Amino acid sequence: MLLLLYGRLFVEFNNETPKHNSANKLKSNKYSNRNNTSILTDHHLNTDKNDIGLIANLRTCQTHKAAYLSIAKRVNSVSPFVKVAYPDWIGFNNDEQPMESLYNSDVHVSRNKLLSCLERSVSKRRDSGDMIVYDLDYLLESVQDACISQQQLSNYDERNLGAKSGFDHLHFESRFECGNLRKAIKIGPNEYDLILNSDVNSMSHSQWFYFQVSNMEAAKPYVFNIVNMEKHNSQYKTGMQPIMFSVKDYAEFKKGWTRTGMDICYYRNCYKNCNKSHGSYMTATFSIQFPHDRDICYIAYVYPYTYSKLLYKCFRWKNSVDPATTLFRANCLCRSLNNNEVPIITITSVENNEKKIKDRHIIYLTSRVHPGETSSSWVIDGVIDYLCGSTLTAKKARDTYVFKIVPMLNIEGVINGW
């Protein structure tokens, strides 16, 4: 039986070796050096020899910041990172967030935005005054010597709060895990066109975004136009807002991610999409008034869920269960093309006389097929939390089934941002 859930999360009930060929595909990975099928179907798994290497040396006494940094420093990325994003480093979770109301869009604002875009495209001249203020390609090609080594990754946002700059424009950064801003162009006094990186190893699929902004003035509206969106439709048309994390707000008030943005629109622009025979890109545009001067803020499509966070949670789950009653294993199923470990989690009850492990059905769960489907990571996170819990229904589930979970399939897309 196949149950399809939001965000490509599926469950397959089976008590035999899987008939599909996904295990064979995983085995073909050049970095894989063991029989993945045995990990997928082995009921016992009473050995830790295939434990995930990045969490093998973590200690339960470590703080979240120390443990997260230990993991993040050893994650392999396509382009070098220069920092760890502050929200991920502190481990902030929006578990107690109130229900969020939908944003009421204004059709007149959308019309004016579209007309403004058309006017700029028609009257654009070489001396228009547009200024590139962030260029990832230039940074990678020209300032490689300035990039810190992976082992030096950290975060100094709190120290840098209030820092003054000699420039009158916003400062952008996205060279951190899941960050994907490629270029920022200042097209007006407080307006910026943003270009996102495509999904890793492809020339398309740009929908998710995650980047940092600093050097702002409080209460001044800044306009952000993300000009290379590809999907014809968007939740921005039906009341969705971007989210923002203010480092100053968290440092002073422990306030985390919040919905933000005004004048939110989504429309087809004048930039031709060369990956398609017909059609152009879409623009997602919104305005933000930042709450503080010289703050450091992170802006994202939805709540981020990084690969390093998943590995940290694997470590926490493993140490949260009672080994006398619950069997929890976090193993390396295979390695990605960039030599990152793909975790597979096994959860069941320890051997008992009522129903031996070998007689239990296997339930397979996978999520994060597409890196932009961040919600599926939060769904599977909650599922694993529940299965590791102490409720009677969770215990009954562990007694009855062996759960095999691959919580993040497309880890390269997640690490390198989409």
309 close to 65: Cβ distance less than 8 angstroms: no
Q: How far apart are CA 52 and CA 50, in angstroms?
A: 6
Q: How far apart are CA 2 and CA 9, in angstroms?
A: 10
Q: How far apart are CA 101 and CA 94, in angstroms?
A: 16
Strands (E) across 65-206 are located at 131-135, 171-173, 181-188, 191-196
Q: What percent of the chain has pLDDT over 70?
A: 82
H, E, C per residue of 278-302:
CCEEEEEEEEEECCCCCCEEEEECC
Q: Over the stretch 55-75, which tens digit does the pLDDT of each residue have?
A: 988 998 899 999 999 999 999
Sign of CA dihedral 303, 179, 231, 184: positive
User: Which stretches in the chain have pLDDT values below 50?
Assistant: 1-36, 44, 46-47
199 close to 413: Cβ distance less than 8 angstroms: yes
b/e string for 75-114 if b means 16 or more Cβ within 10 A?
A: bbbebebbbbbbbbbbebeeeeeeeeeebebeeeebeebb
Closest residue by Cα to residue 172 from 208, 143, 211, 117: 211
Q: How far apart are CA 66 and CA 79, in angstroms?
A: 23
* Residue 359 zone, left/alpha/beta (φ > 0; ψ -120 to 50; rest): alpha
> 3-class SS at 184?
strand
Helix 374-387 vs helix 392-400: crossing angle, to nearest 10: 90
**DSSP 8-state class, residue 359:** G
The answer to whether the predicted template modeling score (pTM) of the entire model surpasses 0.85 is yes
For every residue of 201-228, DSSP letters joined together read TSS------EEEEES--TT-EEEEEEEE
The pLDDT of residue 117 is 80
The two tokens of residue 330 are 């976090």
Q: Over the stretch 366-401, which tens digit does the pLDDT of each residue have?
A: 999 988 889 999 999 999 999 999 999 999 999 999
Closest residue by Cα to residue 75 from 330, 318, 301, 342: 342
Neighbouring CB atoms inside 10 A of 310's CB total 23
Residue with tokens 């064979």: 24
CB burial class (10 A; 0-12, 13-18, 19+) of residue 271?
Answer: middle
268 close to 282: Cβ distance less than 8 angstroms: yes
Contacts of 174 (CB under 8 A, 6+ apart): 134, 136, 180, 181, 182, 210, 211, 212, 417
For every residue of 365-376, DSSP letters joined together read EE--SSTT-HHH
**DSSP 8-state class, residue 125:** -
Segment (H or E) for 326 = strand 326-335
